[in-house]
Amino acid sequence: MTDYARVLLLATLAAAANGAGAQTFAGNEIVAGTAAELATTIATRRAELDADREAIAMLVDTLILPRFDMRRGSRAILAEHWDSAAPADRDRFVTAFYEYLVATYGDALLHFTPDTVRVLPFDGDPGHSPARAHTVIRLNDGTEVDVDFVMIGSDRDWRVVDIEAEGVSYVRTYRSQFRVDIAADGLGSVIAWLERKAASGPR
């Protein structure tokens, strides 16, 4: 697995926040709270998760998925192709893309520790959406990577719609990849490819 792939999945996990910023952002608290629960769960169930990939998928379903707006993120990835797609194809893409991510990068959960991600003080307007939760992720080799969670919402309800690692957006990355594939073979072919990849993983 590449370092970027690890960053992508580990960025969905998050860890406890260090320090407090001048302003309080509920998104930072959501990241930290999710991380604390993940750290505890992985520590107590590591042997089980290492032996059962389906358990990893279920853990992501339970703790990670509710923190993401997969439909909005999928719409941003497909861009103009979302508008022209049939509703059934939109739904199928959202599901296939999510399951592809879990099947491809789910094993990275096993490398997560409470020290993997450090949440930085918030430096924006907590009333403005979208907002960014800034973090630093430590890879297995000790390298640190700046990662932003781009979140939308209000009050206490914020969800991640994009992740930027060292300025590289996962939405823009997949948009570029899928745009070429859709132009060549159509959206249905891309969805089928995602479904095949997901089926070969732990789900």
pLDDT of residue 21: 40
- Calculate the average pLDDT of the chain: 87
At residue 122, does pLDDT exceed 90?
yes
Give the confidence band of 22 by pLDDT, cuts at 50, 70, 90. Answer: very low
**Annotated domain spans of the chain:** 3-199
Across the chain, where does the E strand assignment appear? 117-119, 131-138, 144-154, 157-165, 168-169
pLDDT of residue 15: 37
- Least confident among 94-108, 110-124, 149-163: 110-124
pTM of model > 0.85: no
Compute the distance between CA of residue 35 and CA of residue 64 in angstroms, rounded to an integer.
9
Q: What is the CA radius of gyration of the chain?
A: 17
Interval 129-150: pLDDT, tens: 999 999 998 887 889 999 999 9
The pLDDT score that the predictor gives to residue 203 is 46
Report the pLDDT averaged over residues 154-174: 94
Taking the C-alpha atoms of residue 179 and residue 148, their distance in angstroms, rounded to an integer, is: 24
pLDDT given for residue 110 in this prediction? 82
Phi and psi angles of residue 80, each rounded to the nearest 5 degrees, phi first: -65, -25
Name the 3-class secondary structure at 18: coil
* pLDDT value of residue 175: 98
Confidence label for 201 from pLDDT (cuts 50, 70 and 90): low
**Per-residue confidence (pLDDT) for residue 23, from 0 to 100:** 67
What pLDDT digit, counting tens, does each position of 180-191 carry?
999 999 999 999
- The model's confidence at residue 81, banded by pLDDT at 50, 70 and 90, is very high
pLDDT, tens digit (0-9, with 9 covering 90-100), for 46-76 = 899 988 888 999 999 998 999 999 999 999 9
Average pLDDT rounded to a whole number, residues 68-95 = 97
Indicate the CATH number for domain 3-199.
3.10.450.710
